[in-house]
Amino acid sequence: DTEVTQTPKHLVMGMTNKKSLKCEQHMGHRAMYWYKQKAKKPPELMFVYSYEKLSINESVPSRFSPECPNSSLLNLHLHALQPEDSALYLCASSQRGGTPGDTQYFGPGTRLTVL
Amino acid sequence: AQTVTQSQPEMSVQEAETVTLSCTYDTSESDYYLFWYKQPPSRQMILVIRQEAYKQQNATENRFSVNFQKAAKSFSLKISDSQLGDAAMYFCAYRGFNSGGSNYKLTFGKGTLLTVNP
């Protein structure tokens, strides 16, 4: 099973709202990733967790707050977002993380609209 | 820094025909991995094929094969017997062995939108 699941599929929020995106995998992977993808553009890496510790933060604004409660679950907490944050948010996982040959498996994404 | 270039923003192919998507990259590393990912309109990114740089043999996966030319830093994807389900955005990606966290990162090209005509 190479499935990464993400909820919700769609999310509309106001600039003052607080919401969370959820990502889950049961492949025993120890690295998990958040990407942001604008329409017709490649994904942009936001965060990497390796063995439940934050390994990479790509200078993401603090209104995005990641959390990795356990090895199977990754959350992205959203607060005071801007309209330009509207995008597809993709989660991915891989077996070990720091190994270049490690294949990243992507979830279907959450389509976020900020009003 | 590594860069990945996909020079064809859009391509089209007739069903059952063969199409080749191009990808070039720039790196100073001698060992690395290259990937082709497919993202259909339903959005989920799927790995199509991967290639390790030190392996001479070109990777193949059913109707998908690559032409990897290390010296030329070229990594093209050939899709044979194209099917309607092959219609998608295709991203070429690079991942190297650099330390400092960059070994976690996939560097993507800008993508090629493939249309398959019936």
Handedness of CA A51, A54, A60, A63 (dihedral sign): positive
Count chain A–chain B contacts defined by CB atoms under 8 A. 59
Q: Shortest Cα distance from A106 to chain B (angstroms)?
A: 6
- CB contact at 8 A, A113 and A96: no
pLDDT digit string (tens) for B52-106? Answer: 998 889 999 999 999 999 999 999 999 999 999 999 999 999 998 765 555 678 8
Query: Which residue stretches of chain B are H helix?
Result: none
For A54, nearest residue in chain B (alpha carbons)? B101
Q: pLDDT of chain A along its 115 residues, tens only? A: 569 999 999 999 988 889 999 999 989 999 999 999 999 899 999 999 999 999 889 899 999 999 999 989 999 999 999 999 999 999 999 998 777 788 899 999 999 999 9
Indicate the pLDDT class of residue B26, thresholds 50, 70 and 90: very high
* Arithmetic mean of pLDDT, B35-57: 91
CA separation for the pair A51, B95 (Å, rounded): 20
Q: Which of A25, A104, A2 is nearest to A71 (CA)?
A: A25
